[in-house]
């Protein structure tokens, strides 16, 4: 049977002044499988951490529920407590009763905040019953990066990553990179020349051997896992053999079909045979 330890932090007065922590503890003590239920003024402090460590070592709890502030601040803090005490760090369930509760209902004591804290902790408690110990694994990650969108942000990201040695695939759904900045003459707030800043970087993208530029293309599917994704990209038909194109413009001149020009928001026409 699982042995659950529930620990509530008062976070100074951030939680304790709004939530009746003693009532919370008395309530959670009655739940099945709860072997330990305690609170502390600052659970993240060394004395607070020792309370959790002692419960793991002496009372044999095999999963921990911590009700305190945001996990962004102290998730790793409490995971390290479990690890030092011989318990798998992933047997921790973290419940945010500060940002999600006391800061909403405060600053004064509020029975609604107490009820909500109990409900939030109940959810964390129920989830803790299904926790399983996990182990860290190491795997090789791809050194290739996909950037979707060839505006100035995508261009600068591609150039910086390429300079760091990454192979970059820059996908732009329109026929040309540059985005909205390519349509501007001046930039706020300095009124600098947009093309003077953008054009050299656009040319640099085309020259960089670490950048694979895919214009007039869209990402259709992404599968795999972090560090090793498989991406399917759809290349829109442009009436030009990209491998043979030398940007001479002859094919566009002889092409009899015209279509709306995306660069000019469809206000003008371009030839269906698009120049690479």
In a domain, 134, yes or no: no
DSSP 236: P
* One domain for residues 163 and 95: no
In a domain, 46, yes or no: yes
Q: Are 245 and 200 in contact (CB under 8 A)?
A: no
The total of structural domains in the chain comes to: 3
How far, in Å, CA of 76 to CA of 193, rounded?
47
Q: Are 116 and 105 in contact (CB under 8 A)?
A: yes
Radius of gyration of the chain (CA): 29
Range of the domain at 47: 4-128
Q: Which two tokens mark 110?
A: 């509020």
* One domain for residues 169 and 91: no
* One domain for residues 171 and 202: yes
Model confidence, pTM: 0.64
In a domain, 51, yes or no: yes
SS3 track for 157-219: HHHHHHHCCCEEEEEECCCCCCHHHHHCCEECCCCEEHHHHHHHHHHHHHHCCCEEEEECEEE
In a domain, 133, yes or no: no
| Full pLDDT tens readout for the chain, 276 residues | 999 999 999 999 999 999 999 999 999 999 999 999 999 999 999 999 999 999 999 999 999 999 999 999 999 999 999 999 999 999 999 999 999 999 999 889 999 999 999 999 999 999 999 999 999 888 888 999 999 999 999 999 999 999 999 999 999 998 889 999 998 999 999 999 999 999 999 999 999 999 999 998 999 999 999 889 999 999 988 777 777 888 788 888 888 999 898 778 889 998 888 665
The pLDDT assigned to 69 comes to 96
Q: In what order do the strands lie in the sheet with 92-96?
A: 34-40, 4-9, 63-68, 92-96
* One domain for residues 9 and 121: yes
In a domain, 74, yes or no: yes
The pLDDT assigned to 273 comes to 82
The pLDDT assigned to 275 comes to 61
Pick from 99, 128, 157: which residue ends a domain? 128
Beta-ladder partners of 251: none
Pick from 79, 96, 128: which residue ends a domain? 128
The pLDDT assigned to 13 comes to 92
């Amino acid at each position: 049977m699982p042995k659950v330890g529930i620990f509530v932090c008062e976070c100074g007065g951030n939680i304790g002044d709004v939530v009746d922590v003693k009532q919370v503890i008395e309530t959670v003590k009655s739940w099945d499988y709860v072997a330990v239920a305690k609170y502390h003024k600052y659970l993240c402090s060394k004395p607070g951490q020792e309370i959790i460590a002692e419960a793991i070592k002496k009372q044999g709890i095999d999963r921990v529920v911590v009700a305190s502030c945001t996990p962004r601040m102290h998730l790793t803090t409490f995971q390290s407590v479990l690890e030092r005490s011989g318990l798998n760090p992933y047997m921790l369930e973290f419940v945010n009763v500060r940002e999600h509760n006391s800061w909403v209902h405060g600053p004064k004591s509020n029975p609604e905040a107490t009820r909500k804290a109990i409900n939030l902790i109940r959810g964390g408690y129920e989830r803790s019953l299904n926790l399983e110990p996990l182990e860290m694994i190491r795997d090789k990650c791809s050194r290739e990066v996909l950037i979707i969108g060839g505006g100035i942000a995508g261009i600068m990201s591609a150039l910086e990553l390429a300079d760091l040695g990454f192979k970059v695939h820059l996908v732009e759904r329109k026929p040309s990179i540059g985005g909205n900045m390519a349509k501007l003459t001046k930039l706020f707030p300095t009124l600098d020349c947009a093309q003077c800043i953008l054009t050299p970087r656009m040319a640099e993208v085309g020259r960089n051997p670490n950048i694979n530029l895919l214009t007039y293309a869209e990402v259709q599917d992404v599968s795999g896992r972090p560090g090793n994704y498989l991406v399917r990209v759809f290349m829109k038909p442009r009436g030009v053999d990209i491998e043979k194109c030398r940007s001479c413009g002859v094919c566009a001149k002889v092409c009899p079909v015209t279509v709306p020009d995306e660069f000019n928001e469809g206000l003008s026409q371009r030839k269906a045979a698009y120049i690479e």
